[in-house]
Amino acid sequence: MTWHLNARAAQSTHYSLRTGFLPGHGQVIWRDWYTHTVVSGTPDSETNTVTVDLAAPLGHIPVLVRSGAALLLHSQPAYTTRASATAPYALLVSLGRDGRAYGTTLIDDGETQLPYDVPSPSRTLTFDVHGGQVAKMDVQSCGPTPGRFWSLHRFE
């Protein structure tokens, strides 16, 4: 499993800088979640990581996005799952050095409660992005699919 996000919280109120070790030296580009700027640091060839110092004042958690990630987000998050489900989606893409990105998202209605061994109504979306466009989007359904919930054509 590949993780596409990396969060580095400060572990003390006395520090406003957090040192992190990012995997994928030479192959992976890490970007700041909030500004989308590239995060650079000092490569360590022995551990195949890059050491970075990230600003982490109290109240701010540095979150990084790994290159090659395509993340489906709600463009307008709300206080409830029902309210969030009515908002359009946004696709955050962080292209890799090869100009591609890939992501898988599971979407459910956020309300159905079934026993743990019974799959709830959901859809799994798989995105393949290259050439600056979504080249392929696969959709796999599980269980009944309520109509109000599946407006996947609405992207911003």
- What pLDDT score was predicted for residue 6? 59
pLDDT, tens digit (0-9, with 9 covering 90-100), for 96-124: 989 999 999 888 766 777 777 777 777 88
CA angle 127, 132, 49 (to 5 degrees): 75
Task: Give 44-61 pLDDT, tens digit per residue.
Answer: 878 888 888 888 777 888
Q: Where are the beta strands (DSSP E) in 56-132?
A: 63-66, 69-74, 89-94, 100-108, 122-130
Q: How far is residue 133 CA from its own chain's centroid?
A: 18
Compute the average pLDDT of residues 126-145: 80
Mean pLDDT across the chain, nearest whole number?
A: 77
Q: Is the pLDDT of residue 13 over 70?
A: no
